[in-house]
Structure 1
Protein backbone atom coordinates (compact mmCIF):
# COMPACT_ATOMS: atom_id res chain seq x y z
CA UNK A 1 0.00 0.00 0.00
CA UNK A 2 1.37 3.36 -0.99
CA UNK A 3 0.76 6.07 1.57
CA UNK A 4 0.84 9.62 0.31
CA UNK A 5 -0.65 12.98 1.06
CA UNK A 6 -2.84 14.72 -1.46
CA UNK A 7 -2.68 18.46 -1.84
CA UNK A 8 -5.98 20.20 -1.16
CA UNK A 9 -6.58 23.43 -3.03
CA UNK A 10 -8.61 26.29 -1.62
CA UNK A 11 -9.20 29.14 -4.02
CA UNK A 12 -10.43 32.68 -3.46
CA UNK A 13 -12.60 34.37 -6.02
CA UNK A 14 -11.59 37.71 -7.59
CA UNK A 15 -14.49 39.44 -5.80
CA UNK A 16 -13.23 38.20 -2.43
CA UNK A 17 -9.74 39.55 -3.14
CA UNK A 18 -10.90 42.99 -4.24
CA UNK A 19 -13.38 43.59 -1.43
CA UNK A 20 -12.86 43.27 2.26
CA UNK A 21 -15.60 40.67 2.60
CA UNK A 22 -14.92 37.43 4.43
CA UNK A 23 -13.25 34.79 2.33
CA UNK A 24 -15.58 32.17 0.91
CA UNK A 25 -13.82 28.82 0.81
CA UNK A 26 -15.30 26.35 -1.65
CA UNK A 27 -15.30 22.61 -1.11
CA UNK A 28 -11.77 21.16 -1.15
CA UNK A 29 -10.66 19.67 -4.47
CA UNK A 30 -7.88 17.20 -4.95
CA UNK A 31 -5.46 18.29 -7.61
CA UNK A 32 -5.72 16.01 -10.66
CA UNK A 33 -2.12 16.81 -11.50
CA UNK A 34 -0.99 15.46 -8.12
CA UNK A 35 -2.89 12.19 -8.60
CA UNK A 36 -1.35 11.60 -12.01
CA UNK A 37 2.13 12.24 -10.57
CA UNK A 38 1.50 9.64 -7.86
CA UNK A 39 0.32 7.10 -10.41
CA UNK A 40 3.38 7.75 -12.59
CA UNK A 41 5.70 7.31 -9.59
CA UNK A 42 4.08 3.97 -8.76
CA UNK A 43 4.46 2.81 -12.34
CA UNK A 44 8.12 3.87 -12.43
CA UNK A 45 8.88 1.98 -9.25
CA UNK A 46 7.28 -1.18 -10.55
CA UNK A 47 8.62 -1.15 -14.10
CA UNK A 48 11.74 0.94 -14.34
CA UNK A 49 12.85 1.59 -17.95
CA UNK A 50 10.62 -1.15 -19.30
CA UNK A 51 12.72 -3.99 -17.88
CA UNK A 52 9.97 -5.57 -15.81
CA UNK A 53 9.18 -5.63 -12.13
CA UNK A 54 11.98 -4.95 -9.68
CA UNK A 55 13.05 -7.72 -7.35
CA UNK A 56 14.85 -7.60 -4.00
CA UNK A 57 18.56 -6.83 -4.23
CA UNK A 58 19.49 -9.63 -1.83
CA UNK A 59 17.94 -13.08 -1.45
CA UNK A 60 16.31 -13.90 1.87
CA UNK A 61 18.98 -16.40 2.90
CA UNK A 62 21.77 -13.81 2.93
CA UNK A 63 22.52 -12.30 6.39
CA UNK A 64 22.58 -8.76 4.97
CA UNK A 65 18.92 -9.15 4.02
CA UNK A 66 17.86 -8.87 7.67
CA UNK A 67 17.32 -5.41 9.10
CA UNK A 68 18.92 -4.05 12.27
CA UNK A 69 15.58 -4.45 14.02
CA UNK A 70 15.44 -8.13 13.07
CA UNK A 71 19.01 -8.65 14.30
CA UNK A 72 18.24 -6.94 17.61
CA UNK A 73 15.09 -9.03 18.07
CA UNK A 74 17.18 -12.19 17.60
CA UNK A 75 19.74 -10.94 20.16
CA UNK A 76 16.96 -10.13 22.65
CA UNK A 77 15.42 -13.59 22.24
CA UNK A 78 18.80 -15.27 22.67
CA UNK A 79 19.57 -13.22 25.80
CA UNK A 80 16.17 -13.99 27.31
CA UNK A 81 16.29 -17.72 26.47
CA UNK A 82 18.87 -18.48 29.17
CA UNK A 83 16.85 -16.66 31.84
CA UNK A 84 13.64 -18.30 30.66
CA UNK A 85 15.09 -21.82 30.99
CA UNK A 86 15.63 -21.26 34.73
CA UNK A 87 12.52 -19.20 35.54
CA UNK A 88 9.94 -20.28 32.94
CA UNK A 89 7.08 -20.91 35.38
CA UNK A 90 7.51 -17.54 37.13
CA UNK A 91 7.84 -15.65 33.82
CA UNK A 92 4.77 -17.11 32.11
CA UNK A 93 2.89 -13.79 32.50
CA UNK A 94 5.77 -11.60 31.28
CA UNK A 95 6.20 -10.25 27.75
CA UNK A 96 9.35 -8.84 26.16
CA UNK A 97 8.89 -5.85 23.83
CA UNK A 98 11.34 -3.76 21.82
CA UNK A 99 10.96 -0.04 21.18
CA UNK A 100 13.27 2.10 19.05
CA UNK A 101 13.87 4.90 21.54
CA UNK A 102 12.63 5.67 25.05
CA UNK A 103 9.56 7.87 25.25
CA UNK A 104 10.34 8.93 28.81
CA UNK A 105 12.87 11.67 29.38
CA UNK A 106 14.23 13.12 32.62
CA UNK A 107 13.37 16.69 33.53
CA UNK A 108 16.91 17.41 34.69
CA UNK A 109 19.51 15.09 33.11
CA UNK A 110 22.17 16.08 35.67
CA UNK A 111 20.24 14.97 38.77
CA UNK A 112 18.04 12.21 37.38
CA UNK A 113 16.92 9.39 39.68
CA UNK A 114 15.11 6.61 37.87
CA UNK A 115 12.69 4.28 39.68
CA UNK A 116 13.56 0.59 40.09
CA UNK A 117 11.45 -0.29 37.03
CA UNK A 118 13.86 1.61 34.74
CA UNK A 119 17.36 0.39 33.88
CA UNK A 120 19.39 3.37 32.70
CA UNK A 121 22.88 4.45 31.78
CA UNK A 122 23.02 7.90 33.37
CA UNK A 123 20.21 9.99 31.89
CA UNK A 124 19.39 7.50 29.12
CA UNK A 125 16.95 4.67 29.88
CA UNK A 126 17.87 1.28 28.40
CA UNK A 127 14.81 -0.74 29.48
CA UNK A 128 11.61 -0.36 31.45
CA UNK A 129 9.37 -2.78 33.34
CA UNK A 130 5.66 -2.15 32.90
CA UNK A 131 3.76 -4.00 35.63
CA UNK A 132 0.55 -5.87 34.92
CA UNK A 133 -2.56 -3.76 35.25
CA UNK A 134 -5.73 -2.66 33.52
CA UNK A 135 -5.86 -0.69 30.26
CA UNK A 136 -8.20 2.23 29.45
CA UNK A 137 -10.91 -0.18 28.27
CA UNK A 138 -10.86 -2.15 31.51
CA UNK A 139 -9.12 -5.20 30.05
CA UNK A 140 -6.27 -6.75 32.05
CA UNK A 141 -2.76 -6.28 30.68
CA UNK A 142 0.30 -8.48 31.12
CA UNK A 143 3.56 -7.31 32.62
CA UNK A 144 6.19 -6.50 30.03
CA UNK A 145 9.83 -5.52 29.78
CA UNK A 146 10.44 -2.90 27.11
CA UNK A 147 13.97 -2.85 25.68
CA UNK A 148 15.04 0.37 23.95
CA UNK A 149 16.97 -0.73 20.85
CA UNK A 150 18.91 2.38 19.83
CA UNK A 151 20.41 3.22 23.26
CA UNK A 152 21.42 -0.41 23.75
CA UNK A 153 22.99 -0.68 20.29
CA UNK A 154 24.92 2.57 20.73
CA UNK A 155 26.55 1.23 23.92
CA UNK A 156 27.84 -2.00 22.34
CA UNK A 157 30.55 -2.22 19.70
CA UNK A 158 30.05 -5.82 18.48
CA UNK A 159 27.32 -8.42 18.51
CA UNK A 160 28.76 -10.30 21.50
CA UNK A 161 28.92 -7.09 23.55
CA UNK A 162 25.31 -6.34 22.62
CA UNK A 163 24.24 -9.84 23.67
CA UNK A 164 26.00 -9.44 27.03
CA UNK A 165 24.51 -5.97 27.58
CA UNK A 166 20.97 -7.07 26.70
CA UNK A 167 21.36 -10.13 28.95
CA UNK A 168 22.54 -7.92 31.84
CA UNK A 169 19.62 -5.51 31.36
CA UNK A 170 17.12 -8.38 31.18
CA UNK A 171 18.55 -9.91 34.37
CA UNK A 172 18.05 -6.57 36.15
CA UNK A 173 14.49 -6.22 34.87
CA UNK A 174 13.51 -9.83 35.70
CA UNK A 175 15.02 -9.42 39.18
CA UNK A 176 12.86 -6.33 39.70
CA UNK A 177 9.80 -8.15 38.36
CA UNK A 178 10.25 -11.20 40.60
CA UNK A 179 11.54 -9.26 43.62
CA UNK A 180 14.82 -11.19 43.75
CA UNK A 181 18.45 -10.12 43.50
CA UNK A 182 20.31 -10.22 40.18
CA UNK A 183 22.75 -12.98 41.19
CA UNK A 184 19.87 -15.34 41.95
CA UNK A 185 18.27 -14.64 38.57
CA UNK A 186 21.57 -15.17 36.73
CA UNK A 187 22.39 -18.40 38.65
CA UNK A 188 18.92 -19.87 38.53
CA UNK A 189 16.79 -21.31 41.34
CA UNK A 190 18.45 -23.75 43.69
Structure 2
Protein backbone atom coordinates (compact mmCIF):
# COMPACT_ATOMS: atom_id res chain seq x y z
CA UNK A 1 0.00 0.00 0.00
CA UNK A 2 1.44 3.36 -1.06
CA UNK A 3 0.84 5.19 2.21
CA UNK A 4 1.73 2.42 4.64
CA UNK A 5 4.81 2.25 6.84
CA UNK A 6 6.17 -0.63 8.87
CA UNK A 7 7.38 -1.25 12.41
CA UNK A 8 10.20 -3.36 13.80
CA UNK A 9 9.31 -5.71 16.65
CA UNK A 10 12.92 -6.50 17.59
CA UNK A 11 14.06 -3.43 19.55
CA UNK A 12 17.57 -4.92 19.88
CA UNK A 13 17.81 -4.64 16.10
CA UNK A 14 16.98 -0.93 16.30
CA UNK A 15 19.76 -0.40 18.82
CA UNK A 16 22.20 -2.36 16.64
CA UNK A 17 21.30 -0.22 13.62
CA UNK A 18 21.90 2.94 15.68
CA UNK A 19 25.26 1.56 16.81
CA UNK A 20 26.21 0.64 13.23
CA UNK A 21 25.42 4.19 12.09
CA UNK A 22 27.44 5.74 14.91
CA UNK A 23 30.43 3.54 14.07
CA UNK A 24 30.21 4.41 10.37
CA UNK A 25 30.11 8.14 11.12
CA UNK A 26 33.17 7.97 13.38
CA UNK A 27 35.11 6.06 10.73
CA UNK A 28 34.11 8.55 8.03
CA UNK A 29 35.22 11.50 10.18
CA UNK A 30 38.62 9.87 10.64
CA UNK A 31 39.22 8.56 7.12
CA UNK A 32 37.87 11.63 5.29
CA UNK A 33 39.65 14.04 7.69
CA UNK A 34 36.39 15.90 8.27
CA UNK A 35 36.33 19.11 10.30
CA UNK A 36 33.74 21.44 11.77
CA UNK A 37 31.45 23.09 9.24
CA UNK A 38 31.79 20.41 6.59
CA UNK A 39 28.81 18.58 5.11
CA UNK A 40 28.17 14.84 4.71
CA UNK A 41 25.43 13.80 2.30
CA UNK A 42 23.59 10.69 3.46
CA UNK A 43 21.35 8.59 1.28
CA UNK A 44 19.44 5.96 3.21
CA UNK A 45 17.02 3.17 2.38
CA UNK A 46 15.33 1.94 5.54
CA UNK A 47 13.84 -0.84 3.41
CA UNK A 48 17.31 -2.11 2.49
CA UNK A 49 18.45 -1.76 6.09
CA UNK A 50 15.93 -4.46 6.99
CA UNK A 51 16.75 -6.64 3.97
CA UNK A 52 13.86 -5.57 1.73
CA UNK A 53 13.84 -4.05 -1.74
CA UNK A 54 14.63 -0.35 -1.83
CA UNK A 55 11.47 1.74 -1.57
CA UNK A 56 9.25 -1.14 -0.49
CA UNK A 57 9.15 -0.96 3.34
CA UNK A 58 9.56 2.55 4.72
CA UNK A 59 10.31 2.28 8.45
CA UNK A 60 10.27 5.57 10.41
CA UNK A 61 11.85 4.09 13.55
CA UNK A 62 14.78 2.81 11.49
CA UNK A 63 15.21 6.23 9.87
CA UNK A 64 15.22 7.80 13.33
CA UNK A 65 17.71 5.25 14.69
CA UNK A 66 20.13 5.85 11.80
CA UNK A 67 19.82 9.62 12.21
CA UNK A 68 20.47 9.41 15.95
CA UNK A 69 23.49 7.15 15.44
CA UNK A 70 25.03 9.42 12.82
CA UNK A 71 24.21 12.65 14.62
CA UNK A 72 25.73 11.41 17.89
CA UNK A 73 29.09 11.33 16.07
CA UNK A 74 28.73 14.23 13.63
CA UNK A 75 27.18 16.92 15.85
CA UNK A 76 29.94 17.01 18.49
CA UNK A 77 32.41 17.49 15.62
CA UNK A 78 30.37 20.32 14.08
CA UNK A 79 29.64 18.31 10.94
CA UNK A 80 26.32 18.78 9.14
CA UNK A 81 24.14 15.98 7.72
CA UNK A 82 22.58 16.60 4.32
CA UNK A 83 19.79 14.03 4.04
CA UNK A 84 19.10 12.98 0.47
CA UNK A 85 15.40 12.42 -0.16
CA UNK A 86 14.18 9.58 -2.34
CA UNK A 87 13.54 9.94 -6.04
CA UNK A 88 9.89 10.96 -5.46
CA UNK A 89 11.30 14.33 -4.32
CA UNK A 90 13.97 14.32 -7.05
CA UNK A 91 16.64 13.51 -4.45
CA UNK A 92 16.28 16.93 -2.82
CA UNK A 93 18.29 17.63 0.33
CA UNK A 94 17.11 18.25 3.89
CA UNK A 95 19.71 20.17 5.90
CA UNK A 96 20.15 22.62 8.76
CA UNK A 97 19.74 26.19 7.53
CA UNK A 98 22.96 27.15 9.34
CA UNK A 99 24.92 24.89 6.97
CA UNK A 100 23.62 26.62 3.84
CA UNK A 101 22.51 30.13 4.88
CA UNK A 102 22.59 31.51 1.33
CA UNK A 103 21.11 28.53 -0.51
CA UNK A 104 17.91 28.74 -2.52
CA UNK A 105 15.24 27.02 -0.41
CA UNK A 106 12.40 24.98 -1.90
CA UNK A 107 9.12 24.16 -0.20
CA UNK A 108 8.58 20.52 0.67
CA UNK A 109 8.26 18.54 3.89
CA UNK A 110 9.48 14.94 3.50
CA UNK A 111 7.26 12.04 4.50
CA UNK A 112 8.18 8.34 4.82
CA UNK A 113 6.74 7.51 1.39
CA UNK A 114 7.65 10.80 -0.30
CA UNK A 115 11.16 11.70 0.72
CA UNK A 116 11.97 8.68 2.87
CA UNK A 117 12.02 7.81 6.54
CA UNK A 118 15.59 9.02 7.08
CA UNK A 119 14.97 12.46 5.56
CA UNK A 120 11.72 12.65 7.53
CA UNK A 121 13.60 11.93 10.77
CA UNK A 122 16.19 14.60 9.95
CA UNK A 123 13.50 17.18 9.19
CA UNK A 124 11.83 16.45 12.55
CA UNK A 125 15.08 16.60 14.53
CA UNK A 126 16.95 19.54 12.96
CA UNK A 127 16.66 22.92 14.72
CA UNK A 128 15.91 24.84 11.50
CA UNK A 129 15.45 22.34 8.65
CA UNK A 130 15.29 23.51 5.07
CA UNK A 131 14.91 21.74 1.75
CA UNK A 132 17.22 22.55 -1.15
CA UNK A 133 17.56 20.95 -4.57
CA UNK A 134 21.34 20.81 -4.90
CA UNK A 135 24.42 20.59 -2.73
CA UNK A 136 28.09 19.71 -3.15
CA UNK A 137 29.01 17.83 0.00
CA UNK A 138 32.50 17.13 1.33
CA UNK A 139 31.85 13.43 1.96
CA UNK A 140 29.03 10.92 1.82
CA UNK A 141 27.43 7.76 3.13
CA UNK A 142 25.20 5.63 0.90
CA UNK A 143 23.10 3.20 2.93
CA UNK A 144 21.45 0.63 0.69
CA UNK A 145 22.38 1.82 -2.81
CA UNK A 146 20.58 5.17 -2.97
CA UNK A 147 23.13 6.80 -5.32
CA UNK A 148 24.47 9.97 -3.67
CA UNK A 149 27.02 10.95 -6.33
CA UNK A 150 24.96 13.87 -7.68
CA UNK A 151 25.41 15.65 -4.32
CA UNK A 152 29.18 15.23 -3.85
CA UNK A 153 31.89 17.71 -4.77
CA UNK A 154 34.25 16.70 -7.53
CA UNK A 155 36.34 14.60 -7.26
CA UNK A 156 34.69 11.77 -5.28
CA UNK A 157 37.07 9.19 -3.80
CA UNK A 158 35.72 5.85 -2.49
CA UNK A 159 36.55 5.02 1.12
CA UNK A 160 36.69 1.54 2.60
CA UNK A 161 35.17 1.50 6.09
CA UNK A 162 35.36 -1.50 8.39
CA UNK A 163 31.65 -0.86 9.02
CA UNK A 164 30.49 -2.32 5.69
CA UNK A 165 26.77 -2.59 6.49
CA UNK A 166 24.10 -0.82 8.49
CA UNK A 167 21.64 -3.54 9.35
CA UNK A 168 21.41 -5.57 6.15
CA UNK A 169 22.10 -2.62 3.84
CA UNK A 170 25.44 -2.30 2.12
CA UNK A 171 27.26 0.85 3.21
CA UNK A 172 29.39 2.80 0.75
CA UNK A 173 31.43 5.84 1.75
CA UNK A 174 33.25 8.61 -0.10
CA UNK A 175 35.36 11.68 0.51
CA UNK A 176 36.20 14.36 -2.02
CA UNK A 177 39.35 16.15 -3.18
CA UNK A 178 40.14 19.05 -5.52
CA UNK A 179 40.76 18.24 -9.19
CA UNK A 180 44.31 17.95 -10.46
CA UNK A 181 44.67 20.20 -13.51
CA UNK A 182 47.46 21.31 -15.82
CA UNK A 183 49.15 18.18 -17.11
CA UNK A 184 52.87 17.30 -17.08
CA UNK A 185 54.20 20.82 -16.44
CA UNK A 186 51.92 21.48 -13.48
CA UNK A 187 53.07 21.47 -9.89
CA UNK A 188 50.66 20.41 -7.18
CA UNK A 189 50.02 21.24 -3.54
CA UNK A 190 50.66 17.85 -1.94
CA UNK A 191 48.55 18.78 1.08
CA UNK A 192 45.41 18.81 -1.08
CA UNK A 193 45.67 15.17 -2.19
CA UNK A 194 43.75 14.06 0.90
CA UNK A 195 40.94 16.60 0.61
CA UNK A 196 39.95 20.23 0.60
CA UNK A 197 41.99 22.82 2.56
CA UNK A 198 41.12 23.48 6.20
CA UNK A 199 41.24 27.24 6.69
User: Please, what TM-score do these two structures have when normalized by structure 2?
Assistant: 0.27
Greater C-alpha radius of gyration: 1
Indicate the structure with greater helix content.
1
Q: What's the TM-score, normalizing by structure 1?
A: 0.28
